[in-house]
A and B are shown apart, each in its own frame.
Chain A
Amino acid sequence: MNNGALITAENLVKQYPIGGRKFTALNDVNLTVQKGEFLGLVGPSGSGKTTLLNIIGALDYPTSGSAIVIGTDTKELSHRESARLRNEHLGFIFQTYNLLPVYTVFENVEFPLLLLGMDTEDRKKAVMGILDRVGLADRAASRPSQLSGGESQRVAVARAMVKKPKVVLADEPTANLDAENSHNVLQMMAKLNEEFQSTFIFATHDEKVIGYLRRKITLNDGRVAEDIETTPQYN
């Protein structure tokens, strides 16, 4: 595989049909991501950040070009195989947390492990371990409706991290959080990145997030305008 790259985008194009015409959301995007990176896709609204993240997450497919994620071209995957790829290797964190409302905190975090078919004992250990890491072990029995925004997002981080995925995709994870909670969640993610060697890819225009990045890819009108290494301001 391409120099051991974890993710490779080659001449990636994504077009959406709008009316009778085609709207190009991603235009000839090329990039490679290595294991353990902590990078962000930044750029103005509508520049294609979410679109790219979704393609990397095998939730969507390029119109042309290819996205190779953990050794497989996502275009070749069946529904079942792409679900499996997500379940085994990818973690998602959303702007709106997307916790399952009828589940407790514990059960929300447990869910990906259930899909993986892990046995009860291991599940329990893994879930309590990660909840401890995000500081919510004592809220295991709470329901999402009883949590603050910051707590909810920490549960979402725990749910994404509990299976120690190779890649974590986070779309505007701090957009609904205040500054303190944003830093809290970001510090946690930076620590987990270091510890688990999971690759983090953000889509964001939040300066606080950008302050934690080690690599910044700027998109503009669906093209990569800039791809640079940065030194994290916070830590």
Chain B
Amino acid sequence: MLIAKLAFRNLMGAGIRTWLNVFVLSLAFVMIIWVQGFIQGMNKYAMQATIDYEAGGGQFWHKDYDPYDPLTFEDSHAPLSPALAELISRGAATPILVTSGAIFPEGRIQSVVLRGIDPEQQILQLPSAYLSKEDDDVTPALIGAQMAKQTKLRVGDEVTIRWRDVHGTFDANDVRIVQIMNVSAPSVDVGQIWLPLEGLREMLRTPQEASLVVLAEDVSDVPSGNHTWVHRDLNFLLKEITELVRMKSGSSNILYGLLLFMGLLAIFDTQVLAIWRRRKEIGTFMALGMERVKVIGLFTLEGAMHGFLALVVGAIYGIPVLALTFAKGLPMPAMQADFGIALPQSLYPSYGLRLLVGTTLLVLIAVTIVSFLPASKIARLKPTDALRGKTS
């Protein structure tokens, strides 16, 4: 208590220097939480979007299905296993048939992925119901906003698609865009054309077949896979997103890492200087009967208090800023397609308790260490030398 009071007084006595150190450190503190909040928010959003629009509660893949290799699509479909068929029949899963094809918007050729989905499905938040509107004999098709922008297709437009059926025979037909959907998961948007499942099955001549089966989120009795159908859980399906977010956050890590480093360096420097300049004071403390470890403790605490003050100062301007971005979100420019993961129009940060407590501890511990290192030198300082203002 005595030491804390003394340390606080000394710190205040150092005036502007203290506040400069504190400010830089608080900046690092707020930045870490702010940026990490966004990264976590982004991560959370991207994961949720992927679950909502694509992954569901996990999937079963045909053993040859590889989403990154469209060449496999033609061979990676099979009739459903009885267990999967049972899940589908009670609405706990929905099958999706995937194949590669091409479209010819404005006479150009563009390869696309054709996806057949049950218009009645309730598992993914895709507006598949639009695909049931078969007022005439043109097959309805659903595309995402990014895809619409790329191909300049609009609702009501008809476009020719070409595909190969199960026997390898090319076939072509026109489809009509019945809806352009705003989904924030690029993987169901860019390069994708959604068709009614039964329609695609007919086109491919693969009745009853699917490439993958999406599970509902609350299926408790997930059947085990067999040699045709492989279970892919959410960890597997979301791994890529998590990796991507981590990569994207790399550059921001460097930014606030640098800030934190600067803050710590300033405090280290202040400590070294203080201990050199205040040898006489240290000697006086010893002469008055203060134990050496307490003197070290005092100087360490004095430095470490920068950390506490930084937390307080950071909170003063940080909380309003964080609260504001929390309420308003950060508008995301139209960079969705380039970004590679789901991004909303406005990004909302997510400040978890772990982030707040973790950052606070990180700052406090780091500051204590850089404060202790110079202070520990006092252990080797002889009281007589200290009193004479000499170092060792």
Contacts and interface: CB of A to CB of B under 8 A. Distances in A.
Interface stretch (B6-14, B59-67, B163-171, B236-244): B6-14
Interface string B179-222: 00000000000000000000000000000000000000000000
B290 interface: yes
B297 to A, nearest CB: 13
B335 to A, nearest CB: 53
A87 B384 contact: no
Given A87-B288, A112-B289, 9 more contacts: A59-B287, A83-B286, A83-B291, A85-B289, A86-B288, A92-B288, A94-B287, A98-B283, A102-B9
B288 A59 contact: no
A125 interface: no
A17 interface: no
B13 A101 contact: yes
In this complex, the interface size class of chain B, counting residues with CB under 8 Å from chain A, is 20 to 34
B13 A84 contact: no
A228 interface: no
Contacts of B387: 59, 94, 98
In this complex, the interface size class of chain A, counting residues with CB under 8 Å from chain B, is 20 to 34
Contacts of B281: 98, 100-101
B286 A59 contact: yes
B382 A100 contact: no
Interface of B: 2, 9-10, 12-13, 280-281, 283-284, 286-292, 382-384, 387
Contact of B12 (A84, A86, A102): A102
B292 A79 contact: yes
Contacts of B2: 114-115
Contact of B9 (A98, A103, A112, A115): A103
25 contacts: A59-B286, A59-B384, A60-B383, A79-B291, A83-B289, A83-B292, A84-B289, A86-B286, A86-B288, A87-B289, A87-B290, A88-B289, A92-B288, A96-B280, A98-B283, A98-B284, A98-B287, A100-B284, A101-B13, A101-B281, A102-B9, A111-B288, A112-B288, A112-B289, A114-B2
Nearest to B388: A50
A31 B311 CA distance: 57
A2 B335 CA distance: 90
A12 to B, nearest CB: 15
A103 to B, nearest CB: 7
Contacts of A83: 286, 289-292
Closest 8 CB pairs of A and B: A87-B289, A102-B13, A86-B289, A98-B284, A59-B383, A83-B291, A92-B287, A102-B9
A22 interface: no
A103 B9 CA distance: 8
B384 A54 contact: yes
Nearest to B3: A114
Nearest to A97: B284
Contacts of A54: 383-384
B287 A115 contact: no
A74 to B, nearest CB: 12
A173 interface: no
B13 A115 contact: no
B284, B287, B387 interface centre (most CB from chain A within 10 Å): B287
Nearest to B8: A102
Nearest to B382: A60
Contact of B280 (A59, A79, A98, A103): A98
A150 interface: no
Contacts of B382: 60
Interface string A15-57: 0000000000000000000000000000000000000001001
Contacts of A92: 287-288
A200 to B, nearest CB: 16
B1 to A, nearest CB: 9
A115 B1 CA distance: 11
Contact of B10 (A60, A102, A114): A102
A225 B291 CA distance: 36
B375 to A, nearest CB: 16
Interface string A105-132: 0000001101100000000000000000
A116 to B, nearest CB: 8
A115 B290 contact: yes
A96 B387 CA distance: 10
A102 B391 CA distance: 22
A159 B280 CA distance: 17
Contacts of A60: 382-384
Nearest to B278: A101
